[in-house]
Amino acid sequence: MLILLCGIVFLHVAALALLFVSTVVSAWAVNPTSSADLWFNCTTINGVNSCQPGDTGVWIQAVQALMILSIIFSFLSLFLFFCQLFTLQKGGRFFLTGAFQVFASLFVMSGAIIYTVMNAEWVPPSESFGFAYILAWVAFPLILISGLIYVILRKRE
């Protein structure tokens, strides 16, 4: 039982960490000389690294908001999990925790989809997707699975 609990919490925390790294690190669209993420465009010319605030279009702001919201919901879900662990009656399901986690996964999915579809606007064709972008896509199924586990899980002693 303890192993199961540890495993679930580990999965949740790992997915949350992936989400965090993906949102913050500047590697959504990379190039040999420049990298762009949700917040800045950084270029390295002759060894000098310079960052400028990125484009302020509607869609990139929507992606920013969705990623931040998914982090918030995942945090809330972790917090609720520990709350429900102690207050839920035996046999009960962690519905609320699972619901928040599923919402978080939906937000990540929406954010990644919007970035994929609309990136023609702010990423020149010479750039390829960086690892932070891939992390966002990897985090989405992990969070979804974690949420579904919470919904199916029943509390036992």
Partner 1 sequence: MCSVQKLTSTSPQSEAIVVYTGWERHALVGSDVRLSCSFFSWRWTSEDVTFSWSYRPDGAKDSISIFHYTGGAPYVDNKGPFRDRLEFVGNPPRRDGSILIRNLDFSDNGTFTCDAKNPPDIVGRPSSVRLLVFEKIPIQAGVITGAIIGVVLGLLILVVAIYYLMRFLVARRVFDLSVSKHGKKGKGKEAQQRQASVLVDPAKQKAAASEKKKQESRREKK
List contacts with partner 1 (CB under 8 A). Answer: 53, 56-58, 61-62, 64-66, 68-69, 72, 89-91
Contact by Cβ (8 Å): 66, 125: no
Q: Could you tell me the smallest distance in angstroms from the CB atom of residue 71 to partner 1?
A: 10
Q: Which is nearer to partner 1, 21 or 99 (CB)?
A: 99
Q: Could you tell me the smallest distance in angstroms from the CB atom of residue 130 to partner 1?
A: 21
Q: Which is nearer to partner 1, 60 or 149 (CB)?
A: 60
**Separation of CA 91 from chain center:** 30
Q: Could you tell me the smallest distance in angstroms from the CB atom of residue 64 to partner 1?
A: 5
Q: Which is nearer to partner 1, 90 or 125 (CB)?
A: 90
Report the distance separating Cα 1 and Cα 77, nearest Å.
20
Q: How long is the chain? A: 157
Q: Which two tokens stand for residue 70?
A: 């998914």
Report the distance separating Cα 15 and Cα 69, nearest Å.
14
